[in-house]
Amino acid sequence: MPKGLYEQILTDILNKKIEDLDKKYGHEKKSMDFEESSFELSLFLGKVIKKALDQITGSSTDKIRKQISISNKMIEFLSEKLEDKSFEGYKISSEADMLLSIYEKIEFQGKQNAKVPRPESPINQSSIFTGSSNIEPSLVSEWKKEIKSADRINLIVSFIKWSGVRLIIRELEEFTRGRENKLRIITTTYIGATQLKAIDKLSKLPNTEIKISYDTNRTRLHAKTYMFERDSGFGTAYIGSSNLSNVAISSGLEWNMKISEYENKEIFNKCIGTFETYWNDSEFKMYDPNQKEELKRAIQSAKISSNDFKKRIKKKLFEFDIKPYSFQKEILEELEAERIIHKRYKNLIVAATGTGKTVISAFDYKGFRKSKSKENRLLFVAHRQEILEQSIDCFKRVLKDENFGDLWVGNHRPEKGHADHLFISIQSFNSRSIHEMVEPDYFDFIIIDEFHHAAADSYQVILDYFTPKILLGLTATPERMDGKSIVDLYFDGYIAAEIRLREAINRKLLCPFQYFVVTDPIDLSNLTWSRGGYKIDDLEELYVAKKGKNRRARAILNATIDYVDNIKNVQGIGFCVSVKHAHFMADFFKNQGIPSIALDGTSPEDLRYSAKTKLNNKDINFIFVVDLYNEGIDIPDVNTVLFLRPTESLTIFLQQLGRGLRLSEGKDCLTVLDFVGQAHRNYNFSDKFRALVGKTRHSLKREIKKGFPHVPKGCFIEMEKQAQMYILENIRKAINNVTTIRSKIQKFPEITNLELTMENFLKYYGIEIWWLYKASSVKNKGWNRLCVQAGVRKEFKDKNPNERRIVKGIETLTLCNSRRFINFIIRCFDNISTIEDMDFSKEEILMLSMFHYTIWYKAPEKCGFKKYIDGLLRINENPVMKEELISVLKYQLTQIKFVDTELDLGFPCPLDLHCKYTTDQILAAMEYYNIKEKKSMREGVKYLEDRNCELLFVTLNKSEKDYSPSTMYHDYSINQKLFHWQSQSIISDHTPTGKRYVSNDDENYVPLLFVRKYKKEHGQTAPYYYLGPVKYKDHEGNKPINIIWELKHSMPPKLARESNKFTIT
């Protein structure tokens, strides 16, 4: 057997070949995935059957007859084994005919109408069009026939030209005259390539809708896909490089893959599902022929170069309505939770420059104003006039009020008596002593941009004097220049919300990066580690003073030349360990013919400004700086960043990286060179690379070994071999296993001067609570067991019967986020001495049942309990476990970042909207489990007849694989209100169950939707998000039925993004 990759079912033949392999070869195998087994087996059997049928000989007629006979015997065998006679209907007729079409017979002027025209290429097989064969039919001729035979057409293309439209316009005119036919088109105005005449002509066709992205500065849509849906199940989709223009579809060297729905249903469904997601995305606006002038302006604007365009519309930065992106909605939701749930009214948002912090603040203020009966006074403080001008314009658009707010900066002054909504520079604020004119509570809502400047005396008056209802800080850099954190000083140690690097890059708010980890020849493993880092003097001596300094500098120079495309085009920043190091590197690069300069915190303002100008003009290629200057440089054109020293602070690392992530005309990506050598055992590589990758379900170690498959869109990380070995070894030693966690617990009071509590420990080390349980062993699980093993707590085993069962239940509660449920259980334990005398409501009794099945798993009577409260009383006999349980519940309350809602379903139900619940908790809440019995439930659907309620349990990623095309496109959100769901394969719309799904006749029928991303979460069975009641909207197909449910309550932005497998990124 040839060496290489396989993905093949093992057979007797293959096993024999593997046994006969030379001993120098090994092989890798895995168990078949349960969710993919039917797909894998049918794919394999299809090939086996084809091979067998090909071996049948005889005349053409005789050969087909024998092939049919064998095929029918296989169908008979399946029918018999499955005990399903309906399979007999799949037997092939002896005539060996192929059905080609069904058409309506209509006579006109004595002639019968023509049959349905069909493409020359098959519609039951996929094929590719390359324009390189005389035999291959032309793309235009195929599309004409595809149009004539389709029931619905969906086109998604970057741009549309009249030269392309006119080639198929007659067919489209004929198609759209059909009453039930529908044509939908998505396109953009990007670079002004779309032509007004083409859009105008198409928009006038009946049964036609067009949606357009008017974003003239950037586009996320480069797709060119033409979908032809057919009710027969033989739809086709052309995916490739052709926009709708004459050159692209008739004479250009374009490649287009034709996908057959019959052969590749999963891929076809993904195309349709992705189109539906884009169609429902707010970026694409419905076009109306009356909007011709607006479209004309957008196309013309897109043709102007970006810089000229910005100058011309500087005062109209928000020409269209501003709507928050999904991740901005998430932040607004988190701000709401901070105030409503946690009662914290000083809130900090951390996000890189250019990611829309001002937009978020405007929507936050809009929500605050809506919740109050009177006009609420606003103070917006920034340090630059340009920021204030853009900010007030943003607020006007968000609030839809052209008269909102007054500027007080430069030559701008508010009119007398107009200071209720003030956008003011910090300089103007202090020079005019605004605080002396008003009372401390005059402003209800204060926003301070670039909050890291709060250390300056100029900001202290605002922070000390005013007492607003809300203080909102915006910053990209939560660490001040003196190294202290504004989070602890002004926001009680809490960051309200952060815009993640991954989201910002995926949304093209920041530039993508290509990150190269280069082997550093300098060994740092034996340096002194003090107060959380290396000593600056030690690093400086290695980098600047010792004999090896030139060797390292030469290695940095050579790597830079190797990795950048042209050193003369570099506009770079090198981050150094000290002033001496910065000057050394600048001198070394200059001496090698690469113009460079060094700057530090003591550099005069005019030198900083001139350096920025020179870098922009490429008169110099590098500015070498030290940490004190992280925030000072703001040069969007920076296209290269060099990390020339280890950075212990994740915040500073992201600050430094952010210097190069600003968007700029002509900058495709940021090149990053990170020089990594052997590090001290206490140095942490994990946080840095986890921040680059973002949150995934896999370990960082796996990400590195697999070549970082989950980086943000357009990004790339590559490690040189030796550097990768250093990093993997460091991560292996630093990983939070039992040994490292025990060690951290043991040294915690000494290192932190804090009391050793679970909450303090988790917060200080940034460890998620589930790690405490996942890292510990089955026999010694949980916080208190770890403390015993660390020697900071006495052994408690004899006093704690049922410890293992209780701690397993506590581990389950680390995934719980239901505020009502958690508070109720805490209240029960607070009143445990009188619990038997307490009167419980129906919903509280159901919560007791939920808690019982969370901890004890079996029905109460099977555990020897007569009542649900007996389980709580048993836990109360275990004081250490009781203490740990309550600690976990209280900690979970602090982690809630959304506002839940109680729903009225017409019957008692303790489940709250958007909270997470396990299957046991849900079935207990619905009384499917009770005091006597825990009934079994194996399927993903449960109909509760007594409540006329359907429980729909959805696992989005059914396979354990991250990417499984055969299973992952069955269930997904289309937007925050619509959800696509596939029934069980045996259900059709004429069965009682199917009729219940697809009918809105029964007003008392309550289907409830529960969704989770994976089957497992942190090693446990994953809970479901409760999305509440849904209503039937549409469906297609049978066995299974594909249903679109409409949610009564919009799903949270985060879950909508995660559950939408076709999300625009």
pLDDT band at 219 (very low <50, low <70, confident <90, very high): low
Does the structure show a pLDDT above 80 at 308? no
Does the structure show a pLDDT above 80 at 963? no
Mean pLDDT across the stretch 216-234? 83
Among the residue ranges 229-233, 285-289, 301-305, 978-982, the one predicted with the least confidence is: 301-305
Describe the crossing of helices 196-203 and 292-303 by its angle, rounded to 10 degrees.
Answer: 150
Cα(271)–Cα(154) distance, rounded to whole angstroms?
A: 10
Query: Fold match between 326-492 and 504-734?
Result: yes
Residue 788 · residue 796 · CB < 8 Å: yes
Cα(33)–Cα(618) distance, rounded to whole angstroms?
A: 55
Residue 656 · residue 574 · CB < 8 Å: no
pLDDT band at 934 (very low <50, low <70, confident <90, very high): very high
At 236 the pLDDT is 96
Does the structure show a pLDDT above 80 at 872? yes
546 secondary structure, DSSP code: S
Please report, for the chain, the start and end positions of each structural domain, with discontinuous segments joined by +: 12-90, 127-301, 326-492, 504-734, 737-795, 802-935, 938-1059
Q: Write the CB contacts of 496 (distance below 8 Å, at least 6 apart in sequence).
A: 334, 335, 338, 344, 347, 348, 349
Element (H, E) at 585: helix 579-591
Give 409-414's long-range contacts (Cβ < 8 A, gap of 24+).
409/385, 410/385
Q: What are phi and psi of 158, to 5 degrees?
A: -65, -40
1023 secondary structure, DSSP code: P
Element (H, E) at 558: helix 549-563
**Residue pointed to by tokens 């729905």:** 261
Burial of 972 (0-12, 13-18, 19+ CB in 10 A): buried
Residue 1024 · residue 1011 · CB < 8 Å: yes
Does the structure show a pLDDT above 90 at 289? no
Q: Write out pLDDT tens, residues 799-830.
A: 667 888 999 999 999 999 999 999 999 999 99
At 682 the pLDDT is 82
Q: Which amino acid is at 212?
A: I
Q: Write out pLDDT tens, residues 516-562.
A: 999 999 999 999 988 778 999 999 999 998 777 889 999 999 999 99
In degrees, to the nearest 5, what angle opens at C-alpha 932 toward C-alphas 928 and 936?
A: 45
**Residue pointed to by tokens 């581990």:** 811
Cα(790)–Cα(60) distance, rounded to whole angstroms?
A: 80
Describe the crossing of helices 803-813 and 879-894 by its angle, rounded to 10 degrees.
Answer: 0
Among the residue ranges 613-622, 961-970, 985-994, the one predicted with the least confidence is: 961-970
Mean pLDDT across the stretch 396-419? 86
Q: Write out pLDDT tens, residues 642-686.
A: 999 998 877 788 878 888 888 888 888 899 999 999 998 888 888
617 secondary structure, DSSP code: T
Q: Write the CB contacts of 200 (distance below 8 Å, at least 6 apart in sequence).
A: 289, 292
Cα(264)–Cα(781) distance, rounded to whole angstroms?
A: 47
pLDDT band at 384 (very low <50, low <70, confident <90, very high): confident
Cα(466)–Cα(117) distance, rounded to whole angstroms?
A: 76
Does the structure show a pLDDT above 80 at 969? no
Residue 992 · residue 937 · CB < 8 Å: no
Q: Write out pLDDT tens, residues 353-369.
A: 777 889 999 999 999 99
**Residue pointed to by tokens 């869109």:** 713
Burial of 417 (0-12, 13-18, 19+ CB in 10 A): exposed
Cα(750)–Cα(959) distance, rounded to whole angstroms?
A: 46
More confident call, 238 vs 318: 238
CATH numeric code, 938-1059: 2.30.280
Mean pLDDT of the chain: 86
At 318 the pLDDT is 43
Q: What is the pTM of this model?
A: 0.76
Give 790-793's long-range contacts (Cβ < 8 A, gap of 24+).
790/742, 790/743, 790/745, 790/746, 791/746, 792/745, 792/746, 792/756
Mean pLDDT across the stretch 17-44? 88
The dihedral of CA 378, 379, 382, 387: what is its sign? positive
At 53 the pLDDT is 92
Query: What value does the CA radius of gyration of the chain take, rounded to a whole number of Å?
Result: 33
Cα(1021)–Cα(919) distance, rounded to whole angstroms?
A: 9
1052, two tokens: 């949270």
- Please, what's the b/e burial string for 780-813 (b: 16 or more CB within 10 A of its CB; e: otherwise)? bbbbbbbbbbbeebeebeeebebbebbbbbbbbb
Q: Write the CB contacts of 628 (distance below 8 Å, at least 6 apart in sequence).
A: 481, 600, 601
Mean pLDDT across the stretch 88-103? 88
- The answer to whether domain 504-734 has CATH 3.10.150.10 is no
Q: Are strands 513-519 and 670-676 parallel, antiparallel or unpaired?
A: parallel
Among the residue ranges 34-48, 238-252, 336-350, 914-928, the one predicted with the least confidence is: 238-252
- Among 90, 72, 302, residue whose Cα is nearest residue 195: 302
Burial of 412 (0-12, 13-18, 19+ CB in 10 A): middle
At 1065 the pLDDT is 45
Residue 152 · residue 182 · CB < 8 Å: yes
Mean pLDDT across the stretch 242-254? 79
- The answer to whether domain 127-301 has CATH 3.30.870.10 is yes
Q: Are strands 445-448 and 378-382 parallel, antiparallel or unpaired?
A: parallel
Q: Are strands 533-534 and 529-530 parallel, antiparallel or unpaired?
A: antiparallel
Q: Which amino acid is at 861?
A: E
Strand partners, 466: none
| First vs last C-alpha separation in the chain | 41
Residue 708 backbone zone (phi > 0: left; psi -120 to 50: alpha; other: beta): left
Mean pLDDT across the stretch 995-1013? 91
CATH topology assigned to domain 326-492:
Rossmann fold (3.40.50)
Q: Write the CB contacts of 783 (distance below 8 Å, at least 6 apart in sequence).
A: 758, 772, 884, 887, 888
Q: Write the CB contacts of 143 (distance below 8 Å, at least 6 apart in sequence).
A: 168, 171, 226, 238, 249
At 479 the pLDDT is 62
Q: Which of 149-163, 211-225, 691-705 has the highest mean pLDDT?
A: 149-163
Burial of 657 (0-12, 13-18, 19+ CB in 10 A): buried
